[in-house]
Structure formats: C-alpha cells, structure tokens
Chain A
Amino acid sequence: MSVAVSENNITSAVASTIEANLNAAGAALRKEAFDSFQKLGLPAAKAEEYKFTPISRVLEKNFDFSKTNTGGQDVKLSDFTIPGLDADVLVFINGVFSKEASTIQSSGFTILPLHDALASNQEIAQKYFGQFADVKIDALTAWNTASWGNGVFIHIPEKKIIERAVILHHIHDTRAGQAISINRNLIVVEKNSEVSVIEKFDSLGSSPGFSNTVTEAVVYENAGLNLYSIQNDSGERHQFGLTQIHQSNFSRVNTFTFSLSGKLVRNNLHLVLDGEGIESHMYGLYLLTNDTLADNHTVVDHKKPNSFSNELYKGIMDGSSKGVFNGKIYVRPQAQKTNAFQANRNILLTDKATVNTKPQLEIWADDVKCSHGCTSGQLDEEALFYLQTRGISKETAQAMMLYAFAGEVLDSVKNPVIKNYLDQVISERLHKNF
C-alpha cells in the first residue's frame, strides 16, 4: 500500500533548496538544522502544532522551490514606512538586504549584517547565534537555521538607552512572480540597556510570497526590549515567523504582534523567563478579512521565581477569515511566586469566519498566581441596540464597539509614533467615523 503524502513531496522540494546553501556562514549549525529538518519533515496535515494552519499544503500549492526570486527593482520604500518614525532603517527586498534603501546611524551600538557579524568574529554574535531557536522541535525553524540568507545583528552594549527605534522592512516584490525569503536576526541587549525593534512585513504584486523569519533576542539583566511585528500587506503574503526571546533577571520585554492582513500568517512567539523579577508583556491584535488565516502560537516559560508575565491577544474576524490562538504557559518547579496571566478575546463578524483558541497551562510550582481566559462571540447585539437608541447609526455603533475592542491592545503601544500609525490603519479598517 502506498499513500502519496504531500508533505513528503514538499519537504524534499524544500530540502533541495536548503542543500544548495549549506556552506554559508554558520555552516556547522546549518548542517545540524538540515538533518533535523529532514527528520522532522514539514508539518503533516494533522500535526498538533499546525492543526488549523495547513502550511505544507499551502507551500506545495503555491510555490515552486526550484525557481529563484525575480523583481525587487523600483520598490518605493515610502509606500511602507511609518510616517515620522525616528529610526535606523534596514530594508530587505525579497529577503535580500538593500544597502541603498537602508539608513543606519546606530550611534553607540552595533547594527551589522548577520553574515558579517558571524564572519568577523563578533564574539557576542557567535556566542548566541542559534542558541535559543530550537531546530529539534519545529521544521520551519530548522529550515530557517539551515538556509537563512540575510539578516541583521543588533547589539546594544551596557547602559545604553537607544531612543531611536530600529525598523526592519521585509518587503516582497511579487509583481513578476513568486518571492521566497528566509531571514534571520539576532538582537542582544546588554545590562541596563534598552531598545525598540520593529519588523514590518509588506508586499507589492499579486503573486504569492513566502517568508520564514526567525529572530532571536537575548535580554540581559535589567535590560529592556520592545519588539513590534506589523503585518499589513496587500494580502498575498504567506509567512512564518519565530521570535525567540531569552530574558535574565529584572529584564523587561514588551512584544506587540499586529496581524492586519496577509494570506497565511503564523507567528510563533517564545519567551523564556530565565531569571527573577522579570516583567514580560505580550500584546497581539489580529484584524482579519477575506480568507486570511492568522495563527498565533505563544509560549511563556517561567524558569525562576518571582517573575511576571501578561499576555493579551485580541482578534476580529470578518469575511471567511480564520484566527488561531494557542497560548502555552509553563511554570517550572522552582518558579515559585510566579504571576502569569493570559487572555484571548475574539469577535466573529460573519458566519463564515472562525477562530480556534486554546490555552495550555502547565504548572509544576505550587505557589503561583496564574489565570487564563478566552472568549469568542459576535458583537453584542444589545450594546449595538443601546447605542442606536441614542441616535447613533448602526454602522457607527459597530465601528465604535470594534474600535474600543481593538483599543485595549492599541493603548498598550508605547511608542507614540507607532501608536498613531497603527491607530490610523486600524481606524480605517474598522470604518471609524466618529
């Protein structure tokens, strides 16, 4: 008996592209990751971690891995920038770093192409690269580690508060055909330092694009990191992303994941709280239309006592879109006095839209405060009626409630320029007219 298993075909197709690139920087890790990729294979249709996100099927159906990327010329960066943002700008077009389009001042800290950082014996880069993103458990992470092309190394030395943000523009140009990009970043924030990094995903053109982006971040004692991920492309992009963060004592991390468009968006966010007195906030907002699928898988791993994590993900699903949320919280035996909170709230605007939400708490310590809650439902009809009886049109009433719903996440955004930008995007999307 023989059964054609589609993920096997696509796994081999991807494997041959990986093999071609195995000798690039970080070769030893690439080899190990490649072995793991082949062992794991791309997720099967019913694989637990990809249950609602048929990434292998989507890759097989839409992409030809023997092709090279085309296009990338005449990309107008101004179409994708955040107006007024004071930032070092790094631009990746179809995965390739564009020096001309980028503006880097990086006064007082280091921004380097990751290749260069690893090749030039940057001790810190070599020490941490590939140490956190686990190639043994996830094939897409293994794929990334084995075959990443471009990426950036951001290193903030001790006691530097970086006021300017760093923004990475990941732009796909698919006007002349498909685009595939594999990018890898490493961020190291040393003791008592702080930085904000934004990853923004956009595309132009109507052919499919796929990106696999892994960002590892190491946050030292009493350091702070704000990480933003903003996906608001034209709706053609398939993307997998892993953000893997390692935190030490008294460090503070805020992550903001905005999935506002795309075709298939899978965000893996994995925080390891390897210290005491840590504070971690994870905020997510997904506003989905048409047939977009956005899947947020998060892991918060409390390894030591006395730390705090809070997670708030909210989604509004319109059209026939699909939302997925999976939130794992681990509280290890020694992580006493942990406070860990999680909430996932969803609004479905149509009968065709769906959401699958699953909290997974595994708690081995006995003196902890943990809570989780998830809700999914329609817009409250009674509240809509209430607003209407005050003379407010149904459309405005609906926009008002949706905006208030999204506002809870938006309010948490710290950088005023980014907040203002997101506010405008979201207001427009929700037809805010009040």
Chain B
Amino acid sequence: MLSIKNLQAKIGEKQILNGINLDVKPGEVHAIMGPNGSGKSTLASVLAGREEYEVTGGEAEFLGKDLLEMAPEDRARLGVFLAFQYPVEIPGVSTINFMKTAVNQIREYRGQQPLDAVSFLSLMKEKMKLVEIDQSLLNRSLNEGFSGGEKKRNEIFQMAMLEPKLAILDETDSGLDIDALKIVSNGVNKLRNKSNAVIVVTHYQRLLDYIVPDFVHVLYKGRIVKSGTKELALELEAKGYDWIKDEVAV
C-alpha cells in the first residue's frame, strides 16, 4: 500500500529525514517511535504534503502512485489521512460544514455523486457514536475553545467520516488523560479493517496498549534504526531511548 524508499527531507537548511525505508501493507498497524527531534512528525508531515518541507531524495509510493508529486488534497482524496498533533482552530468554519465539503470533494474525485443533506447527516450521526462526540461540538467553529481531548476526538471523527486507506496519527496521544485516550483508541480500533492501515507516531508506549501495533520502528536522527514487534515498544518504555542512541553510535 505504502512504500517509502530512502526518503530524505529538510526544512529550511536543516536536513531532518536521512533516508527512511518503510513498507506498509493493508491491515497493518505500524508504530513509529523515537526521541524528540528524531523526525517522527516530519515524516508524518511529508507524507501528508506539508509545504514547508522539501523532499531532497527518495520516494514514497501509495497505491501505485507517486505520493510526493501530489497536492495535499489529492493525497487525502486518494486515501491518506493525517490526524494532527496540534489540530488547527478555524473561527467561523464548523466541523459539520467543512466535513460536508470534504466528503463531497472526495466523492467527486472518486467519480461518486455528492451526498445529499439527509445521507450526510445520517453518516455523521453514525460516526459521531463511534468516537463519542457530541453534535453541539461539531456545530461550533472548528476546534475553537475545544479541550485537548475534544480536539483529538474531532480528529478521529473526521477520520471516521473520510474512511481513509492510510491513517497517520501524529502524537494523537500526547496530552490526553486515560479516559480520552481510551475513547480515541477505541474509535481507531473500530475503524480498522483488512483493507486499511494505520501509522501511529508516538513518543510514549502507553497508546500502544490500546492500539496494538504489528510493527514498531524506532526513528533516530532521521533514520529507522531499529524495527521489531510490540515488545520493542515495551523495551523502550522500560529502558528509555539512550540504549538505542548508544547502539547506533557503535
């Protein structure tokens, strides 16, 4: 589904990704862990198409298409979803209104008829239940005055609405208390199936108790320096990242 080969990227003059290799197949959950500044969020941003990052080498193919050549909206239409670490507040734009536009522009891209108001509403009601989010929140300006937990739940609600093939969760767990973390993880788990995949970017192992990964990768200085299964995450939790740094240094 997603094949990343030797991906390199920089922001300004600063090289951040130094050759990432990663293969994600349908049905899989990949966790990307690593110390602060290792390039985790950069990887998520580059895959979603954030303009500030300049790709300096390598490739990323998604469903047979060159992802790096595409505009962010086309990546989304093809099935990439990024749950933001810091969801943006947009005054005057309600979640419901912009989701309706998003759903219909994606449908148009896929050659489907737009959803009418009734179908959209019933789809929305169904997805709201999934992430236990209240409609009054969705009627409000996007994320304006939302708590940290509400913002992250709103991200997962949007993911549910758009049904992506590849969801990238960028530090979705940071700042969440355990109840919010459970709700968010539950939502993600309910959305998982054999044909979609999830990349979980996180600093902490805690989230992985709830969203159980098939693979864990450790990112350090812009490279994946170690890959393993969920046990690797537990090991990192117990021992911290220093041993990885030492191992790499040798």
Cβ-defined contact, A404 with B90, below 8 A: yes
Contact flags A374-418 to B (C-beta < 8 A → 1, else 0) = 000000111101111111111011001101110110000000000
Cβ-defined contact, A388 with B93, below 8 A: no
Q: Look across to chain B and name the residue whose beta carbon is closest to the beta carbon of A404.
A: B92
B2 on the interface (CB 8 Å rule)? no
Q: State the main secondary structure of chain A at its contact with B.
A: helix
B51 on the interface (CB 8 Å rule)? yes
Q: How far is the CA of A392 from the CA of B105 in the complex (A)?
A: 6
B81 on the interface (CB 8 Å rule)? yes
Cβ-defined contact, A386 with B88, below 8 A: yes
B72 on the interface (CB 8 Å rule)? yes
Cβ-defined contact, B105 with A391, below 8 A: yes
Cβ-defined contact, B92 with A391, below 8 A: no
Considering only residues 84-119 of chain B, those with a C-beta below 8 Å from chain A are: 84, 87-93, 97-103, 105-106, 109
Q: Shortest distance in angstroms between B79's beta carbon and chain A's nearest beta carbon?
A: 10
Q: How far is the CA of A381 from the CA of B49 in the complex (A)?
A: 13
Which of A380, A393, A394 lies at the interface centre, i.e. has the most chain B CB atoms within 10 A of its CB? A393
Q: How large is the interface on B (under 10, 10 to 19, 20 to 34, 35 or more residues)?
A: 20 to 34
Contacts of A388 in B (CB 8 A): 49, 71-73, 76
Contacts of B105 in A (CB 8 A): 391-393, 396
Which of A380, A386, A391, A434 lies at the interface centre, i.e. has the most chain B CB atoms within 10 A of its CB? A391
Contacts of B77 in A (CB 8 A): 391
Q: How far is the CA of A403 from the CA of B91 in the complex (A)?
A: 11
Q: Shortest distance in angstroms between A381's beta carbon and chain B's nearest beta carbon?
A: 8
Cβ-defined contact, A407 with B90, below 8 A: no
Cβ-defined contact, A390 with B90, below 8 A: no
Q: Shortest distance in angstroms between A371's beta carbon and chain B's nearest beta carbon?
A: 18
B158 on the interface (CB 8 Å rule)? yes
Q: How far is the CA of A388 from the CA of B50 in the complex (A)?
A: 10
Q: Look across to chain A and name the residue whose beta carbon is closest to the beta carbon of B86.
A: A382
A405 in contact with B92 given A390-B76, A393-B105, A400-B98 (CB within 8 Å):
yes
Q: How large is the interface on A (under 10, 10 to 19, 20 to 34, 35 or more residues)?
A: 20 to 34
Q: Look across to chain B and name the residue whose beta carbon is closest to the beta carbon of A433.
A: B101
A391 in contact with B162 given A385-B51, A386-B84 (CB within 8 Å):
yes
Q: How far is the CA of A393 from the CA of B102 in the complex (A)?
A: 9
A389 in complex: contacting residue of B76, B89, B92, B141, CB < 8 Å: B76
Cβ-defined contact, A392 with B101, below 8 A: yes
Cβ-defined contact, A434 with B101, below 8 A: yes
Q: Shortest distance in angstroms between A332's beta carbon and chain B's nearest beta carbon?
A: 34
Contact flags B104-147 to A (C-beta < 8 A → 1, else 0) = 01100100000000000000000000000000000001000000
Q: Shortest distance in angstroms between A31's beta carbon and chain B's nearest beta carbon?
A: 51
Contacts of A401 in B (CB 8 A): 90, 92-93
B224 on the interface (CB 8 Å rule)? no
B169 on the interface (CB 8 Å rule)? no
B48 on the interface (CB 8 Å rule)? yes
Q: Look across to chain B and name the residue whose beta carbon is closest to the beta carbon of A400.
A: B93
Which residues of B does A touch, CB under 8 Å?
48-51, 71-73, 75-77, 80-82, 84, 87-93, 97-103, 105-106, 109, 141, 158, 162
Which residues of A does B touch, CB under 8 Å?
380-383, 385-394, 396-397, 400-401, 403-405, 407-408, 434
Question: Can you report 25 A-B residue pairs in the complex whose CB atoms are below 8 A from each other?
Answer: A380-B90, A381-B51, A382-B88, A385-B51, A386-B88, A387-B98, A388-B49, A388-B76, A389-B48, A389-B81, A389-B82, A390-B98, A390-B102, A391-B105, A391-B162, A392-B73, A392-B101, A394-B73, A397-B73, A400-B101, A401-B90, A404-B92, A405-B91, A405-B92, A408-B91
Given contacts A388-B76, A404-B92, 16 further A-B contacts (CB under 8 A): A380-B88, A382-B88, A383-B89, A388-B72, A389-B73, A389-B82, A390-B158, A391-B73, A391-B105, A391-B162, A396-B101, A404-B90, A404-B91, A404-B93, A404-B141, A405-B92
